Amino acid sequence: MKTFNPRQRLLLSAEYLLDINPLKKYQILFNNLDCFPLESPNLSRGGRPPVSKSALLRALIYKNLKPLPTLYDLAVDLIDNPSICLKCGLQPSSNPHALKERFSHFLKDTPNQSLQLIKSSLVSELIDLGQIQGHHLSIDGCPIFANVKENNLKTSIKDRFLKAKVPKGDPDAKLGVTINFKEPFKKEVKYFWGYRNITITDMPSELPVTEITKPANISEQSLFIPLFTSVQQSFHFSIEEVLGDAMFDAEYILRFVIDNLKALPRIARNPRRNKYSEVKLSSTGGLICIAGFNMIYWGKFKDRGKIRKKFVCPITHSKKFAQITPLCPWNHPKFLHGKGCTAYLRGDYNVRENIDYGSEDFKKSYNLRTGSERVFSRLLTFCMQSPSVIGLNATANHCTIAHITTLLIALTATKTDHKDKIRFIKKFLPTL
């Protein structure tokens, strides 16, 4: 069998007989897609003729734009519309199951790095065209629910969210949590099996710069430094501000932003770090207990890379003081059933002391972070949160193609002089 020629036209196609081309918009879109990282020499090994990986990628982008929820729906749509099938570079077929299998193998077997290179090339072009500047970057994550029965609450399953029980439908999926606020200041925690997509977004263009998909049990904090290091190595941005929610309020992250990225951290302060304390700071730099006594300095020690000063109760640790005041005026439980109160104070530099969380500049910059939510809202339009594939690599490719689709729309809109429509993922092509 001869290799299929994607440039071949359908015999007696109406669009060519009448000299019309309703699918020209897809051709313009695909012309801006560089699929070179996917191309590799095809070795003849017999069996079915090879299918171009670039054609499969274009078809999956078409699936996102429709949008079609499953690979089978895509296969049926391409069979019913042979013209778009040709535009993607695929040979018209009559077997949806065979075509679905092609897409499934592509997502499962294609290294995610190849698709990352395609995405990076789109970002580089948008940087050259001035759409992405990289001065204000925001980081956020999105849960990706695995296609397993454990996530279907209509089914009756024993130990549904038992951490040690790996779902048979997708062994790569891990247990994660989502937090919702149905009522003000009352969070609702829900468990799920799946993955998490972490994305760095450029503000104010609201275009994704880089992303990675990991199992849901991976801490987002652990990916912060690797992602921003990769962004700087690839694009060399002059970052001014880094935006993030309280998830990323860790001292080593704040120091990395200030010392390595030379940027301002606009990261919300974790309320757990502002717990109410019964002790106050004295004028000499010591601590005053709830009874109003100056606590005794009892040395310092290292705790997770930080230096902490220890202060103890003066009644239980000073005989001279105990002779004057033998009992705690407050009858504190720690005095009655222990050795008195113990308190700690940071003994080294605290990076948060130089961050003015209540200033107008901080609030104004942090409000830009809502753009990350809008980015994920557009990506979920492409069914990114509900993949019809299983496995980490296939899910990661599914998510990366969603990002590629978003960037491809933005690049095409810019090149066709529609810069005001770079985020019109649904309405741009019909008006092109």
pLDDT (0 to 100) of residue 229? 96
* Cis status of the peptide bond prior to 314, with omega within 30 of 0: no
Mean pLDDT of the chain: 89
* Residue ranges making up the domain that contains 174: 131-155+166-269+364-404
pLDDT (0 to 100) of residue 182? 77
Residue 63 lies in a domain: yes
Residue 185 lies in a domain: yes
Q: Are 91 and 2 in contact (CB under 8 A)?
A: no
Same domain as 320, residue 286: yes
Same domain as 294, residue 171: no
Residue 65 lies in a domain: yes
pLDDT tens sequence across 8-30: 555 545 554 444 456 789 999 99
Domain count, the chain: 3
Same domain as 263, residue 211: yes
pLDDT (0 to 100) of residue 8? 55
Same domain as 70, residue 37: yes
Side chain identity, residue 167:
P
pLDDT (0 to 100) of residue 347? 81
- What is the C-alpha end-to-end distance of the chain, expressed in Å? 38
Residue 116 lies in a domain: no
Same domain as 240, residue 148: yes
Q: Are 13 and 83 in contact (CB under 8 A)?
A: yes
Q: What is the dihedral of CA 31, 44, 397, 78, to 10 degrees?
A: 60
Residue 248 lies in a domain: yes
pLDDT (0 to 100) of residue 20? 46
Low-confidence residues in the chain, pLDDT < 70: 1-22, 40-48, 272-279
Residue 6 lies in a domain: no
- From residue 332, alpha-carbon distances to 251, 289, 290, 310 in Å are 33, 11, 9, 19
Same domain as 98, residue 47: yes
Q: What is the pTM of this model?
A: 0.85
Least Cα distance to 224 among 193, 177, 191, 260 occurs for 260
Same domain as 96, residue 38: yes
Same domain as 200, residue 103: no
Same domain as 343, residue 308: yes
Evaluated on CA atoms 68, 72, 75, 81, the torsion sign reads negative
Residue 119 lies in a domain: no
Residue 304 lies in a domain: yes
Per-residue burial over 273-292, b = 16 or more CB atoms within 10 Å of its CB, e = otherwise = eeeeeebeeeeeebbbbebe
pLDDT (0 to 100) of residue 18? 41
Same domain as 343, residue 263: no
Least Cα distance to 149 among 159, 139, 140, 141 occurs for 159
Same domain as 144, residue 260: yes
Q: Are 203 and 137 in contact (CB under 8 A)?
A: yes
346 bridge partner residues: 308
Same domain as 140, residue 177: yes
